[in-house]
Amino acid sequence: MASVFSMIRDGELPGRFVWRDDVCFVIPTINPITPGHVLVVPNEEVDHWIDLDDASWRHCNDVAKHLGRAIDDAWDYERVAVAVAGFEVPHMHIHVIGADSMADMSFARAEQDPDPNRLDEDAERIRTTLRAAGHDHVVDA
């Protein structure tokens, strides 16, 4: 059975893509902890991150770093953090989260009903920042 991320990847469910290449895609989460919170998801359906092949793992981390820089440029957070938990969806993904403290890393703080317009605005803010940095895998809205 396909994961929710595979269904988003394949267009069966809606998603706000900000990045897409042959190895992975990036979408803002629908339950952000802080504005700009995105997920780097490999195209390959792998449940646990330790089972992802090394080349894809490195690539996803490189993309996470690009997204981290974009979030750092677009917002005024103290840090940009990453987390790989994998409990909520059985498809490996890296959370890239702007944070001002360790409290901002708590998944208990994730918004349950965020404003869809704000999510669209946050996605476009990230796309604009990635384009300004010269990235060519930015997905048009």
Structure tokens at 14: 């809606």
Q: What is the pLDDT of residues 70-79, one digit of tens each?
A: 999 999 999 9
Say how many residues make up the chain.
141
DSSP classification of residue 138: B
- Could you tell me if residue 141 is inside a domain? no
What range defines the domain where residue 82 resides? 4-132
Output the CA–CA distances (angstroms, integers) from residue 96 to 2, 17, 22, 40, 83, in the order listed. 23, 14, 20, 8, 7
For residue 66, what pLDDT is reported?
Answer: 98
- Could you tell me if residue 9 is inside a domain? yes
- Could you tell me if residue 138 is inside a domain? no
Among 68, 65, 60, which residue's Cα sits nearest to residue 5? 60
- Could you tell me if residue 137 is inside a domain? no
Q: What is the pLDDT of residues 96-132, one digit of tens each?
A: 999 999 999 999 999 999 999 999 999 999 999 999 9
Q: Give the domain CATH number at 87.
A: 3.30.428.10
Structure tokens at 19: 């990045």
Model confidence at 140, pLDDT cuts 50, 70, 90, reads: confident
Q: What is the pLDDT of residues 12-22, one digit of tens each?
A: 999 999 999 99
Q: How many domains is the chain partitioned into structurally?
A: 1
